Amino acid sequence: MKHTNWYKDAVIYQIYPRSFKDSNGDGFGDIPGIISKLDYLKELGVNCVWLSPVYNSPQADNGYDISDYCSIYPPFGTMDDFDLMLKEMHKRGIRLIMDLVVNHTSSEHPWFIESRKSKDNPYRDFYIWKKGKGKNPPNNWTSFFGGKAWEYDELTDEWYLRIFTKEQPDLNWENPKVREEVKKILKFWLDKGVDGFRCDVINLLSKDQSFKSGHELLVKGSSYFVNGPRIHEFLNDLNLSVLDNYDCMTVGETCFTTLEDARMYAGKDRHELNMIFNFDHTSVDNYLGVKWLMRKFKLINLKKAFDKWQYGNKEGWNSLFIENHDQRRSVGRFNTSSTTYRKESSKMLATMCYLQKGTPFIYQGQEIGMTNGDFASLDEIQDTETHTINETMKKMHLPKSFIKKSLYNGTRDNARTPMQWDDSKYAGFSTKTPWLKVNENKSFINVKESLIDENSILNYFKKLIEYRKNEPLIKDGVYLDLDPKNKNVYIYSRKKDNEEIVCISNFSDRTIKYKLKKNQNYKDYQIKLSNYQNNEIDSSFITLKPYEVVVLKNK
Ligand code: ISL
């Protein structure tokens, strides 16, 4: 099979299906809804969609708990709807990557229903069952969502491992039968014509079989299951047995991953994944990568995180993102503004991120500058993680005000509010009360308005995507951070031969007179993109207005 590495030219748009577009008035997004918006995506300029899970699922974690990998959850539509969507995407030159969630299944998956029945059930070893220590779990491992990572099952007097919710039992990848089943799932979707996978928590598959207790501060035991002992063997096997036979792409979600880990997952000739998501840059405003522990943002740390991957991921290829369905919205984050300078902030952040080397991932709504949810109480928040963390923090007797602030700030529902298509009651997302509250700012932040307004964020995203497509330097140019120590300005260049692009961003709400160094003579450079009309550049200074971004090129 010839591999075209098409992912290096992809601009990927993530759809979180339950919040994208409801076609049948049940308040829940669906596949026909997605089909109705494909022309919108085509016009935006994206050429690939990552679709969060649409498989059959009890929805304990919004579809990241799968009970049948080869069927569609009925509220999303039918397999015929899916096939039509894929055909309509391909017709428009848009590829489709699916979400592959194989660290765990749903507790309602037939494998788990069997596994639970008895110790000698043929499916027992599909999951990780252990004897407890007296009344306690087998070890002290904790869940990503807080609390213990084990669940007791009275029927057989054993505990099963579940690193996420109790409805998401971890599969036992030591069992070759599990690996063969996963290969069948991959083949099923690839043979339908899908173009690849975003691989959920893929670096957690292999667990250290000693099952020792961990000493880590927060996710206890993580050193025994993050980038575990057999992970590369498992991924290599999936790749050589299935993925390698298709011109498809994979991007692995890999938390707590170093550059060396990245090289192992997605380095040259490794035959595992094409690229990974690292979370260094989304961890700069918290402690230890834990979003509940908020920390003051410093631009220098953000630049350090980007520099690390731009310089260090030498053999690999980066993924470029600032939003997804687990992160809060980017406007208002990283010292930017979700009010006065919302438009400027959103355009600046996108430019700063997407002109780096790698593949851009845009999360639905980011292209119109959607903001965090405006939840009035915790009852309006649905996400299971938020509620489990709330319980955990209460048990720790943390101050109420801290818990509240931390939950509203960190809840994943911030990114999951219904897509704002217009200013009608339910934002054109649905005709009935949606599953999650629509943000009131739909009255002025919506697609309809953005299409009319020439200076909208949406129209800027179109220009930015178009620019990327026509400028080879963005794919190939060497990245250089020109002023890593500056506290307000992020200025980097992309260079190849005699050509150079310079991207300059002001991360503050003040006008800054940025002094250029002697070797930075941009007098003859042309302005290729900016979020302001009149840019002031002379031979020794660039005046940057609040959240201004300017992209210059020497030819
Ligand atoms: O969002 C996080 C913390 O608040 C992350 O730790 C996140 O839970 C982790 O990156 C794993 O995310 C993925 O797997 C989860 C699922 O809930 C997320 O939506 C998914 O992106 C379990 O399948």
Closest atom of ligand 1 to CA, residue 385: 4
Place of tokens 């792409």: 249
Of the candidates 351, 333, 356, 355, which has an alpha carbon nearest to the alpha carbon of residue 460? 351
Distance (Å, rounded) from C-alpha 294 to C-alpha 507? 19
| pLDDT for 54 | 98
pTM above 0.85, yes or no: yes
| pLDDT for 449 | 98
Strand order in the sheet with 95-100: 275-277, 249-253, 196-199, 95-100, 48-51, 12-15, 359-363, 319-320
253 labelled catalytic: yes
Distance (Å, rounded) from C-alpha 546 to C-alpha 548? 5
217 pLDDT above the threshold of 90: no
Distance (Å, rounded) from C-alpha 377 to C-alpha 281? 29
What's the angle, vertex CA 522, arms to CA 521 and CA 528, rounded to 5? Answer: 165
Distance (Å, rounded) from C-alpha 259 to C-alpha 310? 11
Distance (Å, rounded) from C-alpha 237 to C-alpha 173? 12
CB 415 less than 6 A from any atom of ligand 1: no
The two beta strands, 275-277 and 249-253, are: parallel
Burial class (CB in 10 A: 0-12, 13-18, 19+), 181: middle
Q: Which is the catalytic residue, given 200, 344, 471, 500?
A: 200
Closest atom of ligand 1 to CA, residue 101: 23
| pLDDT for 279 | 97
CB 50 less than 6 A from any atom of ligand 1: no
Q: What is the pLDDT of residues 339-378, one digit of tens each?
A: 999 999 999 999 999 999 999 999 999 999 999 999 999 9
| pLDDT for 111 | 99
| pLDDT for 218 | 83
Instruction: Specify whether the CB–CB gap between 217 and 288 falls below 8 A.
Output: yes
Helices (H), ranges, 337-376:
342-354
Return the H-helix or E-strand segment holding 514. Answer: strand 512-515
Closest atom of ligand 1 to CA, residue 324: 21
| pLDDT for 144 | 94
Question: What's the mean per-residue pLDDT of the chain?
Answer: 97
Place of tokens 């009890």: 58
CB 429 less than 6 A from any atom of ligand 1: no
Could you tell me the pLDDT band of residue 538, with boundaries at 50, 70 and 90? confident
| pLDDT for 550 | 97
Instruction: Specify whether the CB–CB gap between 307 and 493 falls below 8 A.
Output: no
174 pLDDT above the threshold of 90: yes
Could you tell me the pLDDT band of residue 19, with boundaries at 50, 70 and 90? very high
Q: What is the pLDDT of residues 81-139, one digit of tens each?
A: 999 999 999 999 999 999 999 999 999 999 999 999 999 999 999 999 999 999 999 99
Q: What is the pLDDT of residues 228-270, one digit of tens each?
A: 999 999 999 999 999 999 999 999 999 999 999 999 999 999 9
Residue of the CA atom closest to atom 11 of ligand 1? 201
Q: Which is the catalytic residue, given 22, 30, 253, 367?
A: 253
- Region 22-51: mean pLDDT is 98
